[in-house]
Each structure stands twice: as C-alpha cells, then as structure tokens.
Amino acid sequence: MLRKSLAVLYTALALGANPAAADVAALRDGDMKKLALHSAPVALADVGLLDANDAPASMADYHGKWVVLNFWATWCAPCRHEMPSLDRLQAALPEIAVVPVATGRNAVPGIQKFYAEAEIANLPILRDPKSELARSASVMGLPVTLILNPQGQEVARLIGDAEWDSDSAKAILTALAAE
C-alpha cells in the first residue's frame, strides 16, 4: 500500500512540475492509458538504419518533426495487428511522422508482402537488422512505440499494441505538437 501511494505521489509531483505533461496525461483514454509520459526528454542514439533498398537511413532524417517511432517485426502478431492503425494515423495527421522500424531479422520481401496484405500505404519501410536502435532505446519486447519531439528525443513510451488512430491518440499527439 505504501509503495503504491508513493508511486502515485511521485507521478503527481512529476506531472505537477510539468503542466504541459499534466494536460497531455489528462487526454489518455483506452489504449493510451498505457502511454508513459517522461518528466524530461530522453536522448535517442543516432544508430544507422536501412530502407527497403538497403540504403542508409537515420532517425535524424526526421528531426524537426514530431515522430511516432514504432518498433515491430513481421513475426509479431500484436505488431501486425496495430500496423493498420499506425497507417491510418499517418493519413490523419500528416504533419507527424509515423515511423515503423522492423527490428531484428525481417526480410524486405516479407515486409513488403505484409504491407500489401494489410494495405499499408502511408508508412516507410525501415529496418534495424541488428536491433542496434532497439537495444540502445531499451526495447525489451515488441511492439514498443516511442514519441519523439522535434529534437529527436523520447518524450513518451507505450509498451504493447494500441489503436494509434483513436481519438485519444490523435488528441495527445496534436497537443504535444502544439507545445
């Protein structure tokens, strides 16, 4: 009981110290209740990625935009389930970059086949074949989604799948982008 009370108090103090975070926290509903908002931004390592043609890519390519960075894999059922909602989110909020990164062993033909089957039309194909970005971001399981500010820093994290095109998700992202 004491531990739970301390956790609630700590969260309240942390959010109280950051009124904007408190406002965003109030928007969490449904799956977004799992979204953990950080009291201070967390740096993300600059680790090289590959696109579908094995060309180098980087999260630095997205600096200047709010980013929904999703770690996923073709073999991960919850990842596959949430991917269409990420695609719909990108269509609904084009000012925010929705960036799925297939981490670990994910063959490009398998990713392309899944994108075709799930009718994913708005998302890039990026890969983290050695899971270097995932490991540097302390991603221990899949799916995990990070929200990055325009400086490329993590400001929130959601572990597990979610409906990213829900009204709550869109309201949270719109509020963050307005800060």
pLDDT at 18: 47
Rounded mean pLDDT, 33-58: 96
Q: Look at 14-18, 21-25, 36-40 and tell me which has the smallest mean pLDDT.
A: 14-18
Rounded mean pLDDT, 73-90: 98
- Whether residue 50 contacts residue 56, with contact meaning beta carbons closer than 8 Å, is answered with yes
pLDDT higher than threshold 60 for residue 166: yes
pLDDT at 22: 60
At 21, the pLDDT band (50, 70, 90 cuts) reads low
Buried b (16+ CB within 10 A) or exposed e, 42-78: eebeebebbebeeeebebebbeeebbbbbbbbbebee
At 57, the pLDDT band (50, 70, 90 cuts) reads very high
Rounded mean pLDDT, 145-169: 98
Instruction: Assign 27 to helix, strand or coil.
Output: coil
List the structure tokens of 13.
């103090």
CA atoms within 13 A on the CB side of 57: 20
pLDDT higher than threshold 80 for residue 65: yes
Give CATH superfamily name and number for 2-178: Glutaredoxin (3.40.30.10)
Is the C-alpha dihedral spanning 26, 28, 30, 34 positive or negative?
negative
pLDDT higher than threshold 80 for residue 45: yes
- Whether residue 70 contacts residue 165, with contact meaning beta carbons closer than 8 Å, is answered with no
Q: Where in the chain are the domains?
A: 2-178
